[in-house]
């Protein structure tokens, strides 16, 4: 927990709040505990705090932006993929309290579970230290994500973005994804995807589902495609 607090940038006065943030519903049900003893209620508050903090940050960063731009950009930042990435950096998966079935099926590395836990941690900071501390922690941990979103480097769907870019070129390259390998046990399967523009190799990447592997691959391929064929 101390190592996690260092990475997060906040030390809890009430450690039970942090423990609650890491308690998954499957653990609660398995141990016959009350539903309120899982992190779902914290998740609800964390989601609201994150929306406000990120929304305000974008409002200040891009003063001439329309409401539509602000909403779209916030949705790219305040999403499962972004929060799961931060949770992995913080090592949240190793601290989660999961039911045996959930743990056995790789629950500690599921995007949805990690994202929910991050929202819960933010709520725990909010209750423990107040709004200003929660705001500071959010902006410190999402700083690069926010910058990338404003700079147009982040997308909700990288695969669609790559296809869109390829269709804008005069020769309209055919983008082809292929799953080239599957490794690991059934509950922690890892897929490797490759993508080509016609016969030109662009990138490869892995993920815990075919969809994630292709999305991760497409994210890398966008930059490579622009290098080869021109932005």
Q: Which residues are catalytic?
A: 47, 119
Q: Phi and psi for 196 in degrees, rounded to 5?
A: -130, 150
DSSP 13: S
Report residue 114 as tokens. 């990690």
What is the rounded distance in angstroms from the CA atom of residue 69 to the CA atom of residue 47?
Answer: 20
Closest CA to 39 of 149, 130, 116: 116
Helix 131-141 and helix 40-61: axis angle, to 10°?
70
- Annotate 157-222 with DSSP letters as a single string: -HHHHHHHHHHHSTT-PPEEEEEEEEES-GGG-EEEEEEEETTEEEEEEEESSHHHHHHHHHHHHH
Rounded Cα distance, 136 and 11, in Å: 13
């Amino acid at each position: 927990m101390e190592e996690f607090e260092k990475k997060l940038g906040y030390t809890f006065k009430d450690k039970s709040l942090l423990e609650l943030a890491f308690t998954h519903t499957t653990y609660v049900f398995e141990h016959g505990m009350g539903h309120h003893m899982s992190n779902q209620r914290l998740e609800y508050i964390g989601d609201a705090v994150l929306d406000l903090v990120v929304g305000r940050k974008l409002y200040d960063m891009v003063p001439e932006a329309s409401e539509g731009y602000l909403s779209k950009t916030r949705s790219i930042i305040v999403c499962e993929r972004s929060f799961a990435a931060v949770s992995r950096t913080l090592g949240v998966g190793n601290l989660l309290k999961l039911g045996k079935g959930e743990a056995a099926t790789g629950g500690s590395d599921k995007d949805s579970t990690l994202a929910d836990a991050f929202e819960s941690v933010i709520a725990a900071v909010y209750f423990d230290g107040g709004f200003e501390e929660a705001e500071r922690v959010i902006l410190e941990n999402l700083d690069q994500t926010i910058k990338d979103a404003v700079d147009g480097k982040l997308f909700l769907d990288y695969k669609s973005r790559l296809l869109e870019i390829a269709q804008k070129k005069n020769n309209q390259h055919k983008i082809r994804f292929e799953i080239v390998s599957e490794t690991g046990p059934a509950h922690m399967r890892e897929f490797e995807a490759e993508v080509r523009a016609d016969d030109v190799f662009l990138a490869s990447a892995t993920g815990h589902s075919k969809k994630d592997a292709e999305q991760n691959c497409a994210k890398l391929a966008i930059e490579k495609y622009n290098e080869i064929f021109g932005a």
